[in-house]
Structure 1
Amino acid sequence: MALQECHPTAVLLTSVLAAVLGSLQVGYHTGNVNAPAKIMEQFFNETMRDRHNQTISDHSLTLLWSLSVSIKDFGALLGSLGVKHLADSLGRRNSILVVNCLSVVGACLMVISKAIRAFETLILGRLLFGLFCGLVMSLNPLYIQEVSPTSLRGAFATLNQVAFASGILLGMVSGLETVLGTVDRWDMMLSLSLIPALAQYLILPFCPESPRYLLINKGQESKADAALLKLRGNRDVVLAELEEMKGEAAHTQPRVSICQFLKKRSYRLPIVIVLFVNLASQLSGFNAVINYSTTIFQASFDQAKYLTLGVGAVNVTFTLVAFFLMEKAGRRRLLLIGFICIALCSLLMTVVDSVLHLVPQMGTLQVLLVFCLISAYELGPGPISWFLAGELFDQPGRPIGMAFSSMLNWGGKFVLALLFPPVLKLIGGYTYLLFMVLAVIGFVFTWFQLPETKGRTFDEIAEEFRGKDFLPLHNKNCFNTFT
């Protein structure tokens, strides 16, 4: 049944914006360690000298700093394992509120590390914050997609990436020496994520729980009706959407275990799609550029930290472009454009890096290519990789699908953050050829396997795959797979 067009209400917008405050925190602690890296490495060295009267070797310091940066992503990988349990037992909104405490505790540990002269506390704080990242970057799109109308689902889910990119830019700005990235103030810089964390505690409790969770998971139709009415503000729209949710509930079982998730025929293709799209997105170079852009630019420019701000600005700009294009161009087209542009940029970056020592003026082209790679990533692979699983799986499988997606995303980030510096030292610019290959794989797989989900209800999308379980497809012809 086609659902009526729905205009966003104040309650819906507040709910979405309150949820993405968590993504803002994640982005902030992704971008704020880039510019002041040398200052924080100096803190590590001074701490070791105070304790043992000796400094850390350059090689060991590089590995220790790589661990400090990547431990957040490793924590996020672990945190992803808890998404299903929290989302199904506490609900989508309440889970976001509960995991927010990990952000608060992690930030506090990072802040006090300087006062107690213990870099281990900073690493532990980033690990705890990483647990928060793995949970909230799945719970946020899960909640946003389930409270949003079908016509705005992809665009609103993209706001999660907009907030993430905005947080990265804010982190980059705060990390500058002219702001808070100094020997005296870097601990204050790490504390600023507490502001959106506390704001979320003040706003989100007044937002409705996911109506789909209330009806399909909990069987509470009256509460689902009340939540939908707050979110939509139109009784006719509410009745139509309730009927759609009841239709989905009739086709699904209340809960799915991990074993059932892996064995269910209708989940097999979505699992493979999520696997390839997410790994291609996260291993295609974006995360290396975001974490180490200052290092990349230092070979050609003295003020590399300010060029890094350009990376952050381009990052935010093109997430906003994706927000406006998501419901017009569709997921599939934006992914294809993004992957092929990333592959081309990576190839050209290899060429530029190989001749940079002969033609230093090529440094400007290198910066331009980095900006283009960032743009291509945020146009499609970046935002879509975070919420695609939420569209491909039905209600019982959605939390596990989002957890699986989050594990792939954070696992890819962890691998790149940990290995990019030593691999770059080992093979230089040829590292970008590896990124090119992965982007090409993502393009090819998207072209042949990914159906378009734009404008389709959750039940219509699930029906495309339900035939794999030999169940009747009531509206088989209405699903336009490859437009």
Structure 2
Amino acid sequence: MKRINSNFCVFLVVLNHAAIWVPMGWNLVALNPTTPVIKSFVNETFQMRYNTSVPAETSTLIITLSQAMLIVGSAIGAFSTHVWVTYFSRRTALAVVHALSVISVVLMSPISFFLNSYEALIIGRLLNGLARGIGFTLGPLYVSEMVSRKTLGLYQSPTGWIVQLSAAFGNIIGHPSVLGGPFTWPFALGLPGIFSVIYLCLLPWIPQTIPHVLHTEDSNQSNYTTSTKPSFLLLQKLRSIRGEELMEEYSSIKAEIEADRAVEKASVATLFKIGRYRRQLIAVIVIQFSLQSSAIQAVFQYTNDIFIQAGVNPDHATFYTVGTLALMALTVFISSRILPRIGPKRMLVCGLIIATVGLIFLTISTSLNSSSPTVGIVGVVGVTMFSLGLGIGPMLNMIAYASIITTTVTRPNAMWMAGNVFWITAILVSFLFPYALETIGGFAYIPFMVSTVLVVLYVVVRIPHTRNRSSAEIQKFFVNSEKNMALQPIENHAAISTMS
């Protein structure tokens, strides 16, 4: 395949992915392996302050708050994203994300440790969640507005394996024998902040996005020739192509923005009143919701227990969980190589079907509630199939597919709405699933199976194929809502194609 994006553009993508998605997975699991030493830290701090042992319920509350504040902060960050994408440039908003991340790390690591403050740990986790929630939308938006649309799927798909691999790495780093000890746990919580520090140090050399520069040109109404416009010069810096190809892409970017100019400043409520935009927004929400509907939040809370039931030594269960995360990361990585040949729609549907089969195995193993190794193996098979399905489907496509079916103008609102639904669902599952599992056992997985089947049906019927389709063709589907267009992929297309 002919190279389109320049080395500088690829560098910006790698930097963005590393600074956003590596801490995303790492911080999610940071407290899991370090929980015993954090409990000791809470007990010692309480004893020092009040000269008495911490009550069990107080200790549990502090640990629970430390865990939950990350998700709560993520939800708050997701809600606030609309402000950041509307009133600030992508570059400025991302700088705020990484500044929040650095502040949170300082609170969680040196301040909480040296000042013996579990309050600082809780506040740090909240701020870290805030950065995660905002970065969850802004990171993909920046990449979408910098790379060629032809390579959008290719450059958005790595997010899945980066998150899972960093989560696996975070589990290893936080293990008591590595950096999860009584004097080293601040390093386990603080190391992810290095990526944000690097990003902020490089900020002077990180450019604004092409649409932002175009908008600035329009506002200033400056008299530039095309070849001297800052937006064209930026595009030239971001691409390896030259001549007519470069001019053609520049024209297509402007045409894409111009096509939706009428709704550029429209509210989400207004967009929902217009059929083509409503269908587009719902499609993005469904695609990103597919990861939560498939029970990722529920399953990975209990992987250690599933492996222990299968006969794994409890001391080694964490390493099996790490292996599962690594398997998912490997699956996403391999699938991202296949994605351009098959397309995101087929990959998403196939992955969700495999994940549903995995949930059936988990339902059986959990419902039987037996110590039998055979039942335990059924659970392990379920987790393995579930991980493979997520890697092929939603982990690979939730960002890439959503970016491809939207335009420069509609993407911010669509990703913002989808992010809200994603994090609200994550909170509900985190708090409600443990009670459901305790009450009805393995049958607690059934609602996830039902919702996943509904998502598959919606994707098949209401969301278009994007492989070998231009942006205009994809948007035509939402205008016409033709089912035959969704069911029959176009195999050949000559003009500007969407490689995804």
TM-score by length of 2: 0.86
1:395 to 403, 408, 415: 408
Q: CA deviation at 1:51?
A: 4.1
Deviations 1:102-134 (CA, angstroms, capped at 9, x unpaired): 111111111122332222221211111111111
1:224 to 214, 231, 237: 231
Deviations 1:162-188 (CA, angstroms, capped at 9, x unpaired): 322222122111111221122222121
1:278 aligned partner? 288
1:175 aligned partner? 174
1:189-200 correspondence runs (5 A):
189-200=188-199
Indicate yes or no: 2:442 matched with 1:432.
no
Q: CA deviation at 1:421?
A: 3.1
Q: CA deviation at 1:54?
A: 4.1
C-alpha contact 1:31 1:167 (8 A) present in aligned 2? no
Given the superposition, is the C-alpha separation of residues 218 and 341 from structure 1 closer, same or farther in structure 2, using an over 3 Å criterion? farther
C-alpha contact 2:361 2:381 (8 A) present in aligned 1? no
Given the superposition, is the C-alpha separation of residues 133 and 158 from structure 1 closer, same or farther in structure 2, using an over 3 Å criterion? same
1:2-41 correspondence runs (5 A):
6-21=3-18, 22-41=20-39
Given the superposition, is the C-alpha separation of residues 328 and 17 from structure 1 closer, same or farther in structure 2, using an over 3 Å criterion? same
Q: Distance in 1 between matches of 2:217 and 2:135?
A: 22
1:36-435 correspondence runs (5 A):
36-52=34-50, 53-57=52-56, 64-111=62-109, 112-215=111-214, 219=218, 222-236=229-243, 237-253=245-261, 254-299=264-309, 300-301=311-312, 302=314, 303-435=316-448
C-alpha contact 1:11 1:207 (8 A) present in aligned 2? no
Given the superposition, is the C-alpha separation of residues 354 and 466 from structure 1 closer, same or farther in structure 2, using an over 3 Å criterion? closer
Name the SS of the counterpart of 1:20 in structure 2: helix
Q: CA deviation at 1:217?
A: 7.1
Q: Distance in 2 between matches of 1:204 and 1:478?
A: 46
Given the superposition, is the C-alpha separation of residues 359 and 391 from structure 1 closer, same or farther in structure 2, using an over 3 Å criterion? same
TM-score by length of 1: 0.89
Q: CA deviation at 1:211?
A: 1.6
Name the SS of the counterpart of 2:266 in structure 1: coil
C-alpha contact 2:33 2:171 (8 A) present in aligned 1? yes
Q: Distance in 2 between matches of 1:116 and 1:381?
A: 42
C-alpha contact 1:79 1:130 (8 A) present in aligned 2? yes
Given the superposition, is the C-alpha separation of residues 24 and 261 from structure 1 closer, same or farther in structure 2, using an over 3 Å criterion? same
Given the superposition, is the C-alpha separation of residues 434 and 443 from structure 1 closer, same or farther in structure 2, using an over 3 Å criterion? same
Q: CA deviation at 1:271?
A: 2.2
2:498 aligned partner? none
Indicate yes or no: 2:458 matched with 1:445.
yes
Name the SS of the counterpart of 2:33 in structure 1: coil
Given the superposition, is the C-alpha separation of residues 150 and 397 from structure 1 closer, same or farther in structure 2, using an over 3 Å criterion? closer
Name the SS of the counterpart of 1:271 in structure 2: helix
C-alpha contact 1:140 1:160 (8 A) present in aligned 2? no
Given the superposition, is the C-alpha separation of residues 361 and 204 from structure 1 closer, same or farther in structure 2, using an over 3 Å criterion? farther
Q: Distance in 1 between matches of 2:374 and 2:61?
A: 31
Given the superposition, is the C-alpha separation of residues 479 and 83 from structure 1 closer, same or farther in structure 2, using an over 3 Å criterion? farther
Given the superposition, is the C-alpha separation of residues 325 and 212 from structure 1 closer, same or farther in structure 2, using an over 3 Å criterion? farther
Given the superposition, is the C-alpha separation of residues 333 and 123 from structure 1 closer, same or farther in structure 2, using an over 3 Å criterion? same
Q: Distance in 2 between matches of 1:82 and 1:65?
A: 26
Name the SS of the counterpart of 1:35 in structure 2: helix
Indicate yes or no: 2:460 matched with 1:461.
no
Q: CA deviation at 1:146?
A: 1.8
**1:16 aligned partner, one-letter code:** V
Given the superposition, is the C-alpha separation of residues 422 and 68 from structure 1 closer, same or farther in structure 2, using an over 3 Å criterion? farther
Count residues in correspondence.
Answer: 472
Name the SS of the counterpart of 1:164 in structure 2: helix
Q: CA deviation at 1:297?
A: 3.1
C-alpha contact 1:108 1:191 (8 A) present in aligned 2? yes
Q: Distance in 2 between matches of 1:279 and 1:48?
A: 41
C-alpha contact 2:33 2:180 (8 A) present in aligned 1? yes
Stretch deviating more after TM superposition (268-277 or 141-150): 268-277
C-alpha contact 1:87 1:139 (8 A) present in aligned 2? yes
**1:17 aligned partner, one-letter code:** V
Given the superposition, is the C-alpha separation of residues 134 and 358 from structure 1 closer, same or farther in structure 2, using an over 3 Å criterion? closer
Given the superposition, is the C-alpha separation of residues 42 and 317 from structure 1 closer, same or farther in structure 2, using an over 3 Å criterion? same
C-alpha contact 2:287 2:402 (8 A) present in aligned 1? no
C-alpha contact 1:32 1:173 (8 A) present in aligned 2? no
**1:425 aligned partner, one-letter code:** E
Given the superposition, is the C-alpha separation of residues 443 and 179 from structure 1 closer, same or farther in structure 2, using an over 3 Å criterion? same
